[in-house]
Amino acid sequence: MFDGLPCYPNEPIWMMVKVKNNAELCCPVLSNYEIEELEEENRIIKSNLTLPEILNIVLPSGEKNPKYLDICLKCLYAASPEHSYTDYSGNQGVQVCRKDIDDED
């Protein structure tokens, strides 16, 4: 049964992670430990934002971009690195991830 959006798009748990290639992709849902590791590696570009805020940074023309809804859904439902949203078009590659709000560590 479908009961709405599962991944809290309007919660400030979303982030942009720096990646160089597909080998650097991480799980799109990060534990506190994984977030700390990425912070130590200086790979978190932006954090503590909502998904619309992140997408307005990542996508040219933000919500007016014709791919906005598709990319938003991809971010919400990504369960593996291969299915997460990545963009290699700028100076650095970017992956959209979120904090695992069920992780209490």
Any idea where the domains of the chain sit in the sequence?
14-99
User: How far is the C-alpha of 23 from the C-alpha of 32, rounded, in Å?
Assistant: 21
The amino acid present at 18, given as its one-letter code, is K
Single pTM value for the model: 0.87
51-100 pLDDT, tens per residue?
A: 999 999 998 888 899 999 999 999 988 989 999 999 988 778 999 999 99
User: Tell me, what's the pLDDT at 4?
Assistant: 52
